[in-house]
Structure formats: C-alpha cells, structure tokens
Structure 1
Amino acid sequence: MLVSCGIYNDIAKTAYLVKQQQQQQQQQQQGGQAAAGGQRGKGAGPAGPGGLEDVAQEVYRVVLFCVFFAEVNLLGKLPVAGAALNVLLLSWLYAYYCYDYKWGLQGVHLTERLAYFERRWAFFSGFGLPMALATVLLSFYVGAAVLAVLFPVFILVACDSDVNAAHDRVVGPGGAAQLRHLPIFALALWPTQRIVRAVTGTGGGAAGAGGGK
C-alpha cells in the first residue's frame, strides 16, 4: 500500500501535466496563447510564507479524513441503514481521494476543495461508487486487489474530467448550482478541530466548508 501511494502520486502528476499540455496546444491552435497555463495558479499562494501554511493544511487534511473514515466505519454498523450509508460514504471518500491529487497539483486550498465537493455531491457519489462496491461486495483481499487496479484508473479520469461540464450535460446549464449544498464533512470537522487544537495548541485552520463555488 505504501509503494502504491507513491505510484499513485506519480500517475496523478503525469496525467495532470499531459492534460495541461493538451490544453495549451488547443489554446495555441485557437490563437489563445495568452490564456495558456491559466489553471496552474488557482489558489497557489506565494512561495515564501505558504510553506508552513501548506504543512499545517496537510496535517489538518490527514486528521480530517482519518476522523471521516472512522465515522464511515461507525455509521456502517448501524442497523437497517448502515450498509447503504457505508457504501454512500465510501463512494464520497474514494472520489475525494481521486480528485485530491488534482486539486493539490492545482494549489486549491482545502476549504475550497471541501466546498466544491459538497456542492457537487451527486456527481462524486456516482464517481466513487464502483470503488466502494468493490470494497463492500468482495472479500477483503480480493476487494483490495480490485481497488488497487481501479484507483489509479479513476485518478486518471479525475485529472482529465470536467465536473461542471458533466453536471451541465445531465441537469442543464448551471447544473451544479441547482443542487443544494450538502455538508458531508460537517460531522468530521468538529472533532478534527478539537484534535488539531489539542496537538498544536492553536485553533484548527480549515474551519468550515460552507458555501461552494
């Protein structure tokens, strides 16, 4: 699993660079050289003081998703609705992991990632569903093997996909804006802030994920 994590990161970097090269070539063909590379700077912050802030954000992100994963397991043990909740939450978890590589390379801040994800919850639930079903329906080792094959493929899809365009095709123009914001991570944010505050002696940096773009 540790080796795979390093490989997944390399896959995401390569796919992201290829996607940027394709976009630059298209822009040059259309005479839009001035817009080439416009996506690179989104939320990227300055090089100097951003270093420590990036580390703090990464620590917060790790704690948040450890807490969220624990909640997924706990809610999965509930009677009647537990199995369905487990599949749904795992779908969101795997989908976030896949897109997190892309957002990290784009320099998108954690609060912006969470807000974007919670506004487009329907798309991401469907995106992560095949991986969640592989985990739930198959035995542990078989499911882990299938997931290890599916996950890098879905990272490639995430790096190449346009979530807003997918919403527009299904729901119509501005489809993402028609969905209500769903606070998927709200339950995990409070204990995360408590844990980070206890460890660092400061307030948690990425407080809510409300309002998405």
Structure 2
Amino acid sequence: MYIILLVLNGKFYGPVAEKAYKVQLSRTSNNKSGPSVAGNGFNNVVQSAAETIYMILFYIAAAVFAFFLYTIPHIGIPLSFVMNCAIMSYYCFEYKWSYLGWNMEQCLSYLERHWAFFLGFGVPGTILTFFLSVIRSGVIFALIYPSYIIMATMATPQPTGSFGVSVASGDAARSEWNLPNTLPIFYPVRKIVDAIILGVRLVGGIPADPKVAKKNKNAVKTD
C-alpha cells in the first residue's frame, strides 16, 4: 500500500511543478528585473541515458554519505542533518532547473554558491522527516513535497557573499568573520560517484580517458 501510494502521488509532482513554472514565467515576463528563463519546458527536456544513470548514482551516493555522517560519534547527527537539508533542497529545485535546461553540474554549482539559502530552505522539511522511521518520513515527505515544489519554483535565491557591499580592510578585516561565498557541500558525493564510475569502467575494460585509449592503440600498432 505504501509503495502504491507513493507511485500515485508521484504522478502529481510534474503537473504541480509545470503549473507553478507557468505562473512564475508569466510574472517574470512582465518584470524586466526578473530572472531570465531558458529551455522549452520540463516535458521537452530530454535527458540522455548517461545523465539519468549519473543522477541515480548521485542520489544513492548522497544517501550513503549522509548515513556515513550520521554514524560519526558526537558530531555525526548535526552533520547528517545539514547534508539532508542540502539534499532536500536539491530535490525540490530539480523540477525548476530541469525547466531551465540546466545540467547536473550547473545545478550543483548553483546550489553551492547559494548554500546558505538552500540549507535554510531545506531545514523545515528535514526537521519533519529526519528523526522519523523510513516509512513515516516518506509519508510526511509525500505530503509536503508538492508545496516545496511550488516554493522552489517561485523562489529566487540570493548569493551568500556580500557582493556590492564595502568590505573591511586592514586590522578590521582580521577581526571580521565572513561566510564563504561557495561551500562545496556535494564534493564528497561527487567523488563517490566518480569512484563508482571508475570502478565500472575498470571492470568493464573501458578506459577512463579516450586519449589514453588512443595512445595505447597506437602503441599496439607500432609493436
């Protein structure tokens, strides 16, 4: 019953995101200062098989890394909570970024440049699901996710850094503490995915670098 309800509920996510995107598009088209929009809509965005596989590996690696953080004594739970906030935000904004035609690297870079916004965006949903069992958290997530899709589609994240604001210098700069403009929170997840892909290549006999493969091929011909 739980799986059936999740599948049925998932069919509504796309229409909700599409409607919210159209509302946002109609607003920004009348506002010259609004964000520029590219792409032909979510239903017209075609992802290659490699991108789809990479996305699946990414979510699996993110879940594994968050669980690994959870097992660290003393500081594991807070670190895992922060990681889940980032994953929650990425999952909520994924529809909007698909509409804009962004690839996964663009999405991750954008999230890491606006990390304070996205961590804050994911806090309420993570609080509601983080401390529950898998089934209970899945039920709560299914209830709140449509609202989060709408909020993510309508949102306009701002950079973390104080761009355009005067920065202290000299002795004042040494005593002033500023947040970093970029926080590579998904860097370990990227490395896990790269390691998995490298392992698959090695097992399948596929060279990681096409230049290396060409060089080896020429060496064989010479011999």
TM-score, normalised on structure 1?
0.74
Report matched runs for 1:4-83 at 5 Å. 4-24=9-29, 26-27=30-31, 38-41=36-39, 54-83=48-77
Q: Which residue of 2 aligns with 1:92?
A: 86
Runs of 4+ in 1 over 6 A off after TM superposition: none
Match for residue 105 of structure 1? 99
The one-letter amino acid paired with 2:137 is: G
- Matching residue of 1:207: none
Q: How much does 1:196 deviate? A: 2.7
Aligned to 1:180: 181
> What is the Cα deviation at residue 83 of structure 1?
1.2
The yes-or-no answer on 1:194 pairing with 2:195 is: yes
Match of 1:125 in 2: 119
The residue type equivalent to 1:80 in the other structure is H
The answer to whether structure 1 residue 149 and structure 2 residue 131 are counterparts is no
C-alpha spacing 1:66/1:174, structure 2 compared with 1 (3 Å) = farther
Larger Rg: 2
| Structure 2 unmatched ranges of 5 or more | 1-5, 166-178, 210-223
Residue pair 2:96, 2:152 contacting (<8 A) in 1 also: yes
Gaps of 5+ in 1: 205-213
Higher helix share: 1
Q: In the aligned structure 1, how far is the partner of 2:55 from the partner of 2:103? A: 11
Q: Structure 2 matches for 1:202-213, cutoff 5 A?
A: 203=208
- % identity of equivalent residues: 24
CA distance in 1, matches of 2:207, 2:100: 27
How many residue pairs were aligned? 186
Deviation at 1:40, TM superposition (A): 2.2
User: For the aligned residues, what is the CA RMSD?
Assistant: 3.2
CA–CA distance in structure 2, aligned partners of residues 202 and 68 of structure 1: 26
